[in-house]
Structure 1
């Protein structure tokens, strides 16, 4: 089993920024409670208010895929529909 790491950032359109910021604490908590989640961090960038840096670690591909499936149909998935995602995913 290989650990799955996702790192990168998202760019949130100005019109969606408030909704994303309000949904982020719940999304973070729910993700950290998922089986197999080791680390989940989404941090607002210092100099770009529309950019959030993302770092995630899951114990294996199955846990990562379960997270992706949950998020797809979650409140977070809805409020981030217009978000541009720039991710790198690797396995260690």
Structure 2
């Protein structure tokens, strides 16, 4: 999940398949504190997971960014690479 929106702790508790969650440091919909809870829940389960919070970015950073801002481009590319690696690991 990139830019998780309106996902609840109960929903994360019911996850039964590998999941990756990439979130933003500045996100009022899914704040870092919530994503850290997700990470703790998933680590305590049998489900393989990857949770990453990108610093200094806001919700939508990997799809809505200024192409002239090298930092924004780099961060978006990093998120997209993380997801491609996750998909390559689990989707064949």
- Per residue, is there more strand in 1 or in 2? 1
Q: Which has the higher contact order (CA 8 A, sep 6+)?
A: 1
Which interval holds the TM-score relative to the shorter structure?
0.3 to 0.5
TM-score, normalization by structure 2: 0.33
